[in-house]
Structure formats: C-alpha cells, structure tokens
Structure 1
Amino acid sequence: MHFQHSDSIWRDFPELAAGTLHVEGISSDVSVADAVARFQAIARNALVASPEGELAEIQAWRRTFSRMGLKPTQYRCASEALLRRFRKEGDLPSIHPLIDLCNAISLAFAIPIAVFDLSRIAGNLEVTRAKGDEVYATFSGETEHPEPDEVIFRDAAGRAHARRWTNRQSGHSAIRPQTTSALIVAEALHETAAADVAELVTALKEAIGVTWHVRPTAALLSRGAPRFALVSSGQAARSESL
C-alpha cells in the first residue's frame, strides 16, 4: 500500500508540504494527558497573541479553500475548526489517545492532521480530484458523494476517506478502540510549511514512541518525492519518487 498526492494536486498547489507517519501497535489503554496538556499550552499561548483566523497557517488554508470554490468561513480546515472550538471551550473532548494526541499537536502547530485506520482502507490512498461517484460515509452513518473535482482522499475501492481536502474525514476509517495500525497525514501551505511540517512530524513521532513504545515510520513528501510506501511490521516505510 502507498499514500500520495496526485500530480494535479502538486501542480495546482506547489506550495504544499506534507508529512506522513505509519504506526503499528497502538491501543486505547494508554494515557496521553501530559503530552496533550503540553501541546495545548502552546496553542493557548498562540491564541492569546492572535485569534486562529489571523495565523499564517490558517490564512493559507483559507486562500486554498477559496481557490477550490469553497467559502472559507463555511468550510474550515480541520486545524481551524479545532482551534476555534478550543478557543471557545478551553479544551477538546477525549476521543481516543491517538486522536487526542494528534488533535493537540494540530492545535500547537495550527496544521491539519488526518488519522486513518489502515484496516478500513482498500489498497492505495491518494489525495486527488473526485470523479463524483465516490462513496463517503459520515460519522452519523449517512452516505454522500463528493462533488466532481472536489479534493478528496480516495482509496482503490472508490471510497472517499475525507471530503473537501482537510475539512471533513470519513467515519468509515476513523480510529476506534480496536484500531492497531494507522496512517497519519499532516499538510500545510504557508510560507514556512516545509520546516513546520518537519518539526510536527518529529514531535508526533517522539510522542507516539514514548506513549506506545513503538517506532513509527515517517516521510516528508514533495513534488519530487510524492509517495509514502507502507509495508508490513518489521520493515521500513519509505518515501519515493514516481
């Protein structure tokens, strides 16, 4: 299995920086409270200085959503939605240790992070333009079809695992208590995106290692090296050019 962005995505959004991690051996019977508190404190300090809508990371996604024909304040990227809720409520609900950790790091870096249960993905996963016949499952169990040309995460079976790029993930491949293997994707488009995504991946890799005592494999993706190949346990995932 491999994960990648299509050539058209790299062509249309050359400023994109992406980081990926593959982790096996996760469980739901651990605590990430200390790590979550640490990363939330970073986000809290950032929000004191300026609201989420003024952050360069969020403004870049707003511009991207506008280019995709979406109203940015109607369809917010995942990190903006999290920051907005965190600013208003002062905390985020606990869902699963891996999700709680990724959400906290997303808050700290203001960068969207998607987390997929690999057992629920058929074949390769690609960020690409939708044909319009893909199947998307909401968290409430309803079925939708993305709009033609909408940016989605599509697998080999024609299932959309995220709609409107970083706006909304599918309930079909959401992390659940029995999840043991996950793919994590972070994406950014602001001026310092490449450096910030690299720092985010390092932070997440270290936090996962400390929490689950496993060694995630990771890669930074670019137009020249757009593919992350996931292999079985005991081997290394790798980044490669097409």
Structure 2
Amino acid sequence: MNPKNAQQSIDFCMLDYACSYLPEQKTRMYYRYMRHASKTLVSELIQRGWRRFGSYFFHPICAACNGCKSLRIDARRFTLSRSQKRVMKKNRATMLTVRKPGMTREHLDLYNRYHKHKSETSGWKYTPITPHLYYENFVDGAHEFGKEVLYFIDDKLVGVDLIDLTDDGISAIYFYYDPAYEKYSLGTYSLLMQIHFAKQMGLRWIYLGYWVNGCRSFAYKSNFKPMEMLDGFPPLQEEPRWVPFDTKLCDSPPSTDS
C-alpha cells in the first residue's frame, strides 16, 4: 500500500445488524475510509473483493456466514444470449452519456422513485435520500477513475450507472432507473454496456460485487457468463484467487460456521 494512502486511511467496523440479503443472518462490515485513494490501490482492493461507496471501502466480516461471494464477468469471452440480444434491440434508441459523477435534482428524484418502487415490489426499506447522503455515497471519492453513465430515452433521464474504471476492468457500484421504463430491461442493458465499454478499452473484467445464494435481488447476475468467483477476501499482501463460478452454488445454501 502507498504510505501516503495508509497514513490517511481510517479503519473501523459496524456492530452486527440484520442482513439485507439473508434475513435470518446478522452481518458486520469492515470499512476503510480513504480520502485520496489512487486508481492503483482501488484496483488492488476491487480485485480482492472490496466495494466502494464514496470514500468508503468495505467488505463483510460476518461471524457466522460467508454467503457473500464476489463475482466478475469475463468480458473478453462474453457472448450475448438470445434474451440479451432482445434487450439490445429494445434499447436501439437509448442514448448514453459518460461523465464524472454529479448530483442534480433529477438524480435525486430518479433515485427516490426507484427505491420507492422497490419498497412496494420487493420489500426494500424506503427512506428518501438526502443530497448530503447521495453526494457522500456516489459523488465523493470518484477522483479520476469514478464515472457515471446516464441513460436517456426521448431526452428523459431514465437510468444512472455508477462505475469505477480499474486497471483491469470495470467495477459496478450501483445502478438505478425509472420504474416507468421497466420494459426496457435497463438493469440488464447497463451491464451489457459495461461489457461493451470494457471490450472497447481492452479491459477484461466486470466486477459485479457480491452474489448471495437465495437473494432475489442478485439472481440476474448468474445470467452473465463466463464468470469467476473470488475465494475469500485476501489482504493486499496476498494474490487473489479467482475460480470459475459454479452455477450449482445457486442451489446450495451459504456455508456457515458453527
């Protein structure tokens, strides 16, 4: 680790709280707050299963469960399925803009509409996001590697995809969209565009974040192949070990410690 980054980082963890993915489990997150993380350091952390929101980097350290598995798509070997080709066709007129992350009233309204919809259809807890919290999570800490991809249909903002460009791939941070445009399958389309960007830039991997067996919100991730899964959360001093993702895991419960 760069000594400058090390001196300016703060490590801490949360107390156990109810898991959003597996209601019967408790979760605990390990955090590292860094105001000046370099692209190289971010790449090393993402390769080892960390995630980034703003200037906060984190990964789970749950005592009784290791159900969170880090996944990455091999963009170099990816080919479109029949259903994904249909998604591409539906979005032929969808316009994209890639830029540095920002925050407008349009962003906040879209984010809140998406989360309110999810609270009604998927049981998500809904609290309108404040400008301060949105900035802290999605604008701050982006530096030169963080980007947002804006999706427009008929000149209306319908989707926002937050990503990091790492040394070897693209890290998917968060995507939200207008529920009124659900028929366009914008979540799937945004990932297909990430794969397209990666191929254009000569990057191999799309880091998808975590997959949890039994969590409906993550089920779509198994539709993108080929994929690899990270073995644990190795420290920076160790090489990460990625193995082929076994779809049989979809039918098995997360392993736990007694």
TM band (smaller chain): 0.3 to 0.5
TM-score (norm. length: structure 1): 0.33
Q: Which has the larger radius of gyration?
A: 2
Q: Which has the higher contact order (CA 8 A, sep 6+)?
A: 1
TM-score (norm. length: structure 2): 0.31
